[in-house]
Amino acid sequence: MSHLSAGCRILISLLVLVGSVSSAEKLTIERMFSSPGLSGASLRSPKISPDGRLVTYLLGKSGAKGQLDLWAYDIASGKHRMLVDSAQLAPAEQAMSAEEEQRRERQRISAFRGIVQYYFAADSQRLLVPLGGDLYVYNLSAAPAEAVQRITATPEYETDARFSPGGRYVSFVRDKNLVIHDLQTGTETAVTQDGGGLVSFAMAEFIAQEEMGRRTGYWWSPDDRHIAYTRVDESPVEEVERFEITADDINVVKQRYPVTGTPNVQVQLFVVELENPDSSVEIDLGSETDFYLARVDWFPNSDMLAVQHQSRDQKTLTLLAADIVSGSTRELLQERATAWVDIHDELVFLKRSQQFVWASSRSGFRHLYLYENSGRLVRQLTSGEWSVIGNGFTPAVKGVDERHGVVYFMANTDSQLERHLYSVSLSGSRPQRLTPPGGWHSATLSEDNRVFLDRFSTPDHPQSVTLRSITGESLGILIANDLDDEHPYAQYLDEHLPTEFGTLEASDGQTLHYQLIKPRNFDPDTQYPVIVDVYGGPSSQKVRRAWGSSARSNSGFFRQFLAQEGYIVFTLDNRGTGFRGVEFEAALYRKMGTVEVEDQVAGAKYLQSLPFVDAQRIGIFGWSYGGYMALMCVMQAPDTFAAAVAGAPVTDWRLYDTHYTERYMSTPQDNPDGYAASNVINHVDGLQGDLLIMHGMADDNVLFTHSTTVFKRLQDLGKPFQIMAYPGSKHGLLRFPKTGPHAYAMVKRFFDQELGQILARP
């Protein structure tokens, strides 16, 4: 077991970067997607067992990085071992149900196969493993031949499975109904039976999964006696017909897609007692039926629910306490904003006192507050011009040590380009950083808050994984990921180029962060073409002191590849992007496509002022919101951008979904001028440069219609452009091993043709 400090490992890695590698090779797009992954070993979904003895994680096979197996690291011995081989347990995976396919797409894990999720029981001896549409329980204390128990074997697909808090039951959704499996008796109980068609139980609807970060529709009480669950009726939602065009077939899919300004689903919340599953209590969520059920939690004593209720206009977020016997609710607190109130996962109830931790942006930055369970504010715990940060998949608050009165959380206190784990006293104190300085950290705490997993990377070092004491001391390195001769990226180190960071000033005086990669063999007397890598949408951040790629994304390697091929690669986080406070983020409110474009144009004009930039050869590339930005930039600033690649772009916000669009734009009825100004169609006549539009032909997030409407308008105006459509592909096609390499190759080929390539190589 290695015990090098994080600083020593980084220093060694940097020395390797500037040293020589005997078998240096050129980075290629094909290699970016092949196995083993260039970022080295990558732990997905790491968890510390409830008893603190094991660290479990998902790891891709050496020859198939997208096929995940379940592994464990024994903290005492420092040894790794495979627990479940996905290929042996289910050699031929069952075709996914539509619900499971959509659920994985919403979680951005659709490119993975094998074991993609797993869950610990409270006894730390059992793990629940969904695989191939069925459910398995792995017993850590059993003999190897008896370790795996299959608990379902049905033609239907069981989704959103988990243990009950006490570990006696496994719950899941099958055919839109909630089912409970008793592990002691082996019997199943259907909690609901009326699901089907447009009605589903215990399932998060499309909007909840895609835009609200709520990926479940049911919640166990801590004492195992009750379950809260949703009933969702999609009938009010307008039916949208879209084509799913594959290589050899065309299907008309009728999708209930809640377009901005139109009705949403109707959501009800019920509570059922397991001993009396035929009788349920509906929770009173108020007379207003047009709202969002944002979050549901249980009070520690299991007698009440905590329900986060967001208004349709998203200007209020109300925390309700719900009595599970009567169904009545009362307001604990309410957050209000002139623009919008963000949903978050920072509600943590304390078990030793009648209090909870809450997050709010009422000060202009998201911070933590301590409340009595009655709703009375006790004190603000953190403050300053920085933000407590969750990412929509994991909460910012990583743990609360009630015995010592300490909260552990992630934030950008040290730098807006970094993430660190901090601690703060429940009585109020200055936050203390627990992770080593520099770079990008993510943390997973043990249940007893004594140790944590620190996943850490920098722009020049892929993610390492270290087990640390709660004070930050290294207890062992699970993955050093040093860039030595054995690392998959070693043979490309001679070509690796450093990332430079800098700032610009927006027109309103706010600071904008950028990063830049210069070509290999950079000559300051040569003028180079530039590719701007853009996203620019809300709650995003591309400029950060982190390794650029991961198991889910090759974007960092693609930036390296472009720079190695002779391009300057530039990325800027414009106003409206995330984690910078209310004023910075709300700059685009009711006017998307304005300040973001203004800032990206300012970034390009800064580039044009540099002597080593060819001002006539600046291109821009983005996907999703980045595709929208690429279109708006090349059309609104034709003298600045010579070419653009727009992938899966939103082009008309009237065609996008309710929760996302209305949060930033209100409704088309309320803000017609804002919608008109943000519509790509109304800027098409400004196109002078070259344009490539790419889109998956089965995209159920940004529908293919967004691109086809622009195709027609461009054709009507006689504007030349290029199209690359992907049959059968959805929104995340860049992540897949077949479509991803082709799409990236098309981007490179397009810019070579339209900007003219200057090779950095002799």
Positions annotated as catalytic residues are: 624, 699, 731
Structure tokens at 351: 């078990």
- Cα separation, 511 vs 504, in Å, equals 6
Contact 166, 122 (CB under 8 A): yes
Cα 409–Cα 544–Cα 492 angle in degrees, nearest 5: 125
Note every long-range contact of 129-132, with CB atoms under 8 Å and residues 24 or more positions apart, other chains counting.
129/70, 129/84, 129/89, 130/158, 130/159, 130/161, 131/84, 131/86, 131/89, 131/90, 131/93, 132/89, 132/90, 132/92, 132/93, 132/94
- Cα separation, 138 vs 470, in Å, equals 29
Contact 283, 329 (CB under 8 A): yes
- Cα separation, 521 vs 761, in Å, equals 7
Residues contacting residue 676 through CB under 8 Å, at least 6 positions apart = 682
- Cα separation, 245 vs 307, in Å, equals 41
Contact 600, 629 (CB under 8 A): yes
Q: What is the 3-state secondary structure (H, E, C) of 98-121?
A: HHHHHHHHHHCCCCCEECCCCEEC
Q: Which helix (H) or strand (E) holds 57?
A: strand 54-61
Q: DSSP letter at 565?
A: T
Residues contacting residue 65 through CB under 8 Å, at least 6 positions apart = 35, 36, 37, 551
Judged by DSSP in three states, 381 sits in: coil
CA dist 234 to 198, 312, 397, Å? 5, 16, 33
- Cα separation, 425 vs 346, in Å, equals 16
Reported as half-sphere exposure (CB side, CA atoms, 13 A), residue 133 has a value of 16
